[in-house]
Chain A
Amino acid sequence: MELTLWTYEGPPHIGAMRIASSMKGLHYVLHAPQGDTYADLLFTMIERRGTRPPVTYTTFQARDLGGDTAELVKGHITEAVERFRPEALLVGESCTAELIQDQPGSLAKGMGLKIPIISLELPAYSKKENWGAAETFYQLIRGLLKEKAEDSSENTKLSWQEEGRRPRVNLLGPSLLGFRCRDDVLEIQKILGELGIDINVIAPLGASPNDLMRLPKADANVCLYPEIAESTCLWLERSFKTPFTKIVPIGVKATQDFLEELHRILGMEISSSIKKGDQSKLPWYSKSVDSNYLTGKRVFIFGDGTHVIAAARIAKEELGFEVVGMGTYSREMARKVRAEAKDLGLEALITNDYLEVEESIKECAPELVLGTQMERHSAKRLGIPCAVISTPMHVQDVPARYSPQMGWEGANVIFDDWVHPLMMGLEEHLIGMFRHDFEFTDGHQSHLGHLGGHKSTPEESFKETTQISNNQSPSENSINWTTEGESELAKIPFFVRGKVRRNTEKYARQSGCREINGETLLDAKAHFGA
Chain B
Amino acid sequence: MGGSTLLKETGPREVFCGLTSIVWLHRRMPDAFFLVVGSRTCAHLIQSAAGVMIFAEPRFGTAILEERDLAGLADAHEELDRVVKNLLKRRPEIRTLFLVGSCPSEVIKIDLSRAAERLNAQFQGQVRVLNYSGSGIETTFTQGEDGALKALVPLLPASKSEQLLLVGTLANPVEDRLKTIFNRLGLQNVESFPPRESTQLPSIGPGTKVLLAQPYLTDTARELKNRGAEILTAPFPLGIEGSKLWIEAAANAFNIDKTLVNATLEPLIIRARKALKPYVEKLSGKKLFLLPESQLEIPLARFLNNECGMELIEVGIPYLNREMMKPELELLPQNTRIVEGQHVEKQLDRVRANHPDLVVCGMGLANPLEAEGISTKWSIEMVFSPIHGIDQASDLAELFARPLHRQNLLSNKTLETV
Contacts and interface: CB of A to CB of B under 8 A. Distances in A.
B63 A3 contact: yes
Interface stretch (A118-126, A463-471, A493-501): A118-126
Interface residues of B, number: 63
Given A45-B367, A51-B368, A76 B44 contact: no
Given A40-B365, A52-B368, A1 B74 contact: yes
A54 to B, nearest CB: 11
Contacts of A41: 48-49, 362-364
From B20, B137, B370, name the one whose CB has the most chain A CB atoms within 10 angstroms. Answer: B137
Contacts of A33: 17, 103, 135-137
Contact of B63 (A1, A37, A42): A1
B353 interface: no
A120 to B, nearest CB: 15
Interface stretch (B81-89, B202-210, B269-277, B308-316): B81-89
B2 interface: no
Interface stretch (A55-63, A250-258, A323-331, A340-348): A55-63
B66 A40 contact: no
Contacts of B258: none
Contact of A40 (B14, B56, B65): B14
Nearest to B134: A35
A1 B48 contact: no
Interface string B124-164: 00000000000111101000000000000000000000000
Contacts of B15: 34-35, 37
Contact of B70 (A9, A37, A49, A99): A99
A99 B138 CA distance: 16
A125 B137 contact: no
Contact of A48 (B44, B60, B367): B367
A493 to B, nearest CB: 28
B365 A99 contact: no
A1 B362 CA distance: 31
Given A34-B17, A37-B13, A3 B48 contact: no
From B64, B70, B135, name the one whose CB has the most chain A CB atoms within 10 angstroms. Answer: B64
A6 B140 contact: no
11 contacts: A5-B60, A34-B13, A37-B364, A38-B364, A41-B49, A56-B345, A65-B137, A83-B345, A96-B104, A99-B107, A125-B70
B52 interface: yes
A57 to B, nearest CB: 5
A123 B67 contact: yes
Interface string B25-68: 00000000000010111111101110010011010111111110
A128 interface: yes
A477 to B, nearest CB: 21
Nearest to A377: B55
B263 interface: no
Chain A: number of interface residues, binned into ranges: 35 or more
Interface of B: 11-20, 37, 39-45, 47-49, 52, 55-56, 58, 60-67, 69-70, 74, 76, 79-80, 82-83, 86-87, 103-104, 106-108, 135-138, 140, 345, 362-368, 370-371
A45 B380 CA distance: 14
B58 A5 contact: yes
B48 to A, nearest CB: 6
Contacts of B64: 1-4
Nearest to B107: A99
A62 B106 contact: yes
Contacts, number: 184
Given A33-B137, A99-B107, A3 B83 contact: yes
Given A1-B66, A7-B47, A49-B368, A96 B40 contact: no
Contacts of B20: 35, 38
Interface string A1-26: 11111110111011000000000000
B12 A3 contact: no
Contact of B371 (A51, A58, A61, A100): A51
A247 B39 CA distance: 35
Given A44-B367, A57-B12, A96-B136, 11 more contacts: A7-B47, A11-B39, A13-B41, A33-B135, A34-B14, A35-B103, A37-B14, A51-B368, A96-B104, A124-B39, A394-B52
A118 B112 CA distance: 37
B368 A126 contact: no
B70 A62 contact: no
Given A34-B136, A62-B137, A124 B40 contact: yes
Given A3-B83, A11-B40, A62-B106, A35 B17 contact: yes
A390 interface: no
A35 B19 contact: yes
A333 B2 CA distance: 62
Contact of B140 (A1, A2, A34, A94): A34
Contacts of A95: 39-41, 103-104
A125 B65 contact: yes
From A61, A65, A79, name the one whose CB has the most chain B CB atoms within 10 angstroms. Answer: A61
A50 interface: yes
A245 interface: no
A125 B39 contact: yes
B16 A38 contact: yes
Given A4-B43, A44-B367, A125 B106 contact: no
Nearest to B15: A34
A368 B376 CA distance: 40
A125 B104 CA distance: 10
A57 B16 contact: no
Contact of A61 (B80, B86, B137, B345): B137
B136 A36 contact: yes
B232 to A, nearest CB: 31
A1 B69 contact: yes
